[in-house]
Amino acid sequence: MFKQKRFLLSIILIGLQLCCSAADPDSVKSSGEDVVLKFDSGNVSSPLLPADTWEAAVRFPVTTTLDVTRGELTEIHYYVNDTPETCILKIYSQASVSQPGGLIYSANVLPEVTSPRWNTHYLSTPVRITGRDIWVSLQFRQNREMRTIGIDGGAGKLDGGRLYRKSDNSWSTLQAVSKLNANWNIRALVIVE
C-alpha cells in the first residue's frame, strides 16, 4: 500500500514538473552573457492572502549584484496564479536590509498578465546594475482572498520573500505573514557587458 501511494505521488510530481518546466523562464537564457538573478526554484503554489494591497518583493543584495555590475536589468519574470485587480512592477534602489530605497522603475503590468503562468515584462528603459542592493517587487490589489503571486517549495531565504501590506504600512516577510517557508517567483534577467 505504501509503495502504491509513493508511486502515485511520484507520477503526480513528474507531471507537475513537466507541466511547469515548459514555461519556467530558467530555460529562456538567450546567451552566455545573460544572468538570471533569483531565489526561487520554480513554481509550486501561491500563498492565500486576504483582500488588501500587497507588495511581494525580492532583494538582491550587493553580494549578488557585484558580479553583474555594469550589466543592465532588461526583463523581469514572475508567476501569477490568480489575476489581481491591479498589478504594478517596481524596482527600487538600496536603502536598508529591511525596506527598499527610492523607486527607479515602475510599470503597470496588469494588461500583460496571464494566469496561471509565468509572465515576462520587458523594461522600457533598462536599469543599470551598480553593484548595490536592488529590490524587485510586484504590487497588487485584490478585493477578496486570493492566491496571486507564485512561490517555490522552499527553503525560504530572507531576501527571497519580502512582503509589504498596505493596511499595516510595513514590510515583513512571507514566512512571518503566512508561515510559509518559500521564495517568491520573481526573477531578474541581467545582460552583462
CATH top class, domain 2-191:
mainly beta
- Among 190, 61, 57, 59, which residue's Cα sits nearest to residue 132? 61
Question: Which of 3-12, 52-61, 117-126, 132-141 shows the lowest mean pLDDT across its residues?
Answer: 3-12
Which tens digit of pLDDT belongs to each residue from 143-169?
999 999 999 998 999 899 999 999 999
Taking alpha carbons only, the member of 41, 34, 163, 154 closest to residue 98 is 163
DSSP state of 99: S
What pTM did the predictor assign? Answer: 0.83
Instruction: Spell out the domain ranges in the chain.
Output: 2-191
